[in-house]
Amino acid sequence: MDRVLGDSLTILRTPQYTTFKDGQWPISGEKIPDLVALTMGFSVHEDLDWPALSAGSLFQRPRANALIAVRGIDSLEFPKNVSSYPLENPVPFTLDSVANTINSLFADSTSVVLQLAPSEERLYMMGMANTVFEDLPVTLQQIRSRLSQDGSVLTSLPLVSLSRNNEADLLFLSEVQVLYDISALLQKHKHLAKDAAPDLFSLELAGLEEISRRYGSDSPQFSHASRILSIALQKFADDVSSVYANNAVVEVVTVKTFEVPLTRKSRSILESKQIVSINRETEQRKSNPGSPYNLAYKYNFDYAVIFNIILWLMIVLALAVIAISYNLWNMDPGYDSIIYRMTNQKIRMD
């Protein structure tokens, strides 16, 4: 397939029953969560008008979906047999909606949900992920301690132009280490891949972006780091696909930079107080209908359904009351009413 210029979405692994057509159809960044949901067989609120995804089997759905977002580069070198598509409107996204769907549909099952951004120390685990990834280093301090242990990427990867003493290099190598550790922990818990509940993995890697800022995108350090990450992602995709017996979808989203930041990180105590103050004002506006901004309440997607159910039920009940009242008003007591006839006979006997 022709290489995509600019930000891209690449499908590294997919089951045979989930088909992505070859082509240059662009997809918006905000539609990535819907794409993940559809590949796993879940419904979405709005139809995804994207010709690249074909309708799959109704009886076979992937057991897992792994999405890796790479910041700092618009495309990586992958084999030519993988499908890649242009990415438009590269806004930050999360798979919270997909995770909530899994939680609601498979609440009693052993699903594994992991969302991790090592550079920002953002972590979300659900289901059996707390057991599977109990030993996974998630903070930067834990990951760097892992790099100094036996079997780390520092001893297995050729660093060449990268340095162990540079913060940007260590962040990048830490994220590569996380990919290797997740693969190793999944292989230890292969039995969880055989249950009926689907699993979800979402990773956001920013180490390459820091390498670009430190050395430049034309530097040998950036070029070497890009090759290392490409190899690591392909190995990660192979490992995940092997654990789930070729029943997993692995996607890679590469963006030069997101258009807006996903979260605002606190840098000082003063900034933290400002964020708390803003959150309190927001909660007050939500609870106070007479806010100075005169904002309307936010309705969920079930509002229209509930409104129609209540509306038509009240109309039916009102019509039923009118019909019953009309029939009772025009009833012939001597002919229609059993109570009247019974009491009338009793009066005559007395």
Going by pLDDT thresholds of 50, 70 and 90, the confidence category of residue 204 is very high
Out of 163-167, 201-205, 275-279, 317-321, least confident range: 275-279
| Mean pLDDT value of segment 151-176 | 88
Confidence check: pLDDT of 155 > 60: yes
Task: Compare 2 and 135 and report the one with higher pLDDT.
Answer: 135
C-alpha to C-alpha distance for 330 and 336, rounded to whole angstroms = 10
Determine the pLDDT at residue 266. 38
pLDDT tens track for 123-142: 899 888 888 998 898 888 88
| Mean pLDDT value of segment 135-155 | 87
Determine the pLDDT at residue 37. 93
Determine the pLDDT at residue 175. 93
C-alpha to C-alpha distance for 153 and 156, rounded to whole angstroms = 5
pLDDT tens track for 206-231: 999 999 999 999 999 999 999 999 99
Mean pLDDT estimate for the chain: 82
On whether the CB atoms of residues 24 and 266 are closer than 8 A, the answer is no
Out of 114-118, 156-160, 235-239, 298-302, least confident range: 298-302
Beta strands 199-205 and 64-71 are parallel
Task: Compare 58 and 86 and report the one with higher pLDDT.
Answer: 86
Determine the pLDDT at residue 265. 42
- In the chain, domain spans: 8-255, 266-298, 303-349
Out of 134-138, 143-147, 269-273, least confident range: 269-273
Determine the pLDDT at residue 268. 37
Determine the pLDDT at residue 198. 92
Confidence check: pLDDT of 279 > 50: no
